[in-house]
Amino acid sequence: MSREESNIQSIAQRRLFVNNGVQLAYYDSHPEDGGAADGIESTVVLLHGYCGCSSYWEPVLDELERSVRVIAPDVRGHGLSSAPEDDFYTMELYSEDVASMLIQLQIHNAVLLGHSLGGYITLALAEKYDKKLSGFGLIHSTPLPDGDAARQNRDKAVAALQADGVEAFVRGLVPKLFAEEHLDSMKDEVERAIRIGIGTSLQGAIGTAKGMKARPDRSHVIERSTLPVLLVAGEKDRLISKESTFAAGNGATERVELGGAGHMGMIERPKEMAETILRFVKKVRG
């Protein structure tokens, strides 16, 4: 599969270099002044899921950008970002990329929200760099490590990617991300998510699967944090149950279940997702 940039569905329009020469592509809603001219005070950083990219967040941008600056990177191996030849793409490595981006953009109090894989990265960053954040959250994600069955599925994913490539793998994966009834009612959205996923590099998809398999339990990051925490689950998520998403909490944790949503609430329920994020940002500021 070719990774010609013209075939990649990313909305990232800017780039910078992070660790070991990796080029990180990212979307910035207010690239010139950070939103200062519009009176915007808060920055929300949105991290996408596995075999996704910044475009996953496009359905919520119009609503969010009226009130906050939005930064949405393509994490390494995905979208328009570099795909280094590392065997493992660990969550710690990903978090260092995001931390470097925040430093270079001089963002010191971001609200960091991660979808699925992005949630694992969010917790790794919050564990080491919580001083850079004013709040963080998991969107259809979990602080728990993979269980035995999930680890076996990671191995199967790697084998499938090596045997058949990214496109075949993504075409099998993406329909599972949506609530079953949306496979018919949201055919265009499902197909677009597939096109986004096809832009993932083979090395990135394999390295990330290995990295997710190896990630530790990070429930303590939430439990010990003094920051506000947002946990969003999908009522009909077939990958991560609400019990797994809500597995940890602290004294400032907000738990939200999106009715009718599968694993892709930002696409399946964009209005509700945007409202949830903005309400959380208001809570963080207040």
Per-residue pLDDT of the chain (286 residues; tens, 9 = 90+): 345 676 899 999 999 999 889 999 999 999 988 888 788 999 999 999 999 999 999 999 999 999 999 999 999 999 999 999 999 999 999 999 999 999 999 999 999 999 999 999 999 999 999 999 999 999 999 999 999 999 999 999 999 999 999 999 999 999 999 999 999 999 999 999 999 999 999 999 999 999 999 999 999 999 999 999 999 999 999 999 999 999 999 999 999 999 999 999 999 999 999 999 999 999 999 8
Q: How many CB atoms lie within 10 A of CB 128?
A: 13
Q: How many CB atoms lie within 10 A of CB 178?
A: 25
Closest by alpha carbon to 112, among 241, 127, 66?
Answer: 127
Going through 60-202 in order, the beta strands assigned E by DSSP cover 69-73, 110-115, 133-139
For 5-285, CATH gives: 3.40.50.1820
| Phi, psi at 47, each rounded to 5° | -105, 130
- Only one residue has tokens 């997710």, namely 212
Closest by alpha carbon to 274, among 79, 68, 7?
Answer: 68
Q: Is the dihedral of CA 232, 238, 240, 245 positive or negative?
A: positive
Residue 96 is encoded by which pair of tokens? Answer: 């260092």
Strand partners, 114: 47, 138
Alpha helices in the chain (DSSP H): 58-65, 91-104, 117-129, 148-164, 166-173, 182-185, 187-198, 202-214, 219-224, 242-245, 265-268, 270-285
Instruction: Determine the Cα angle at 120 with ends 114 and 123, to 5°.
Output: 85
From CA 5, how far away is CA 10, in angstroms rounded? 9
* Domain regions of the chain by residue span: 5-285
pTM for the model stands at 0.97
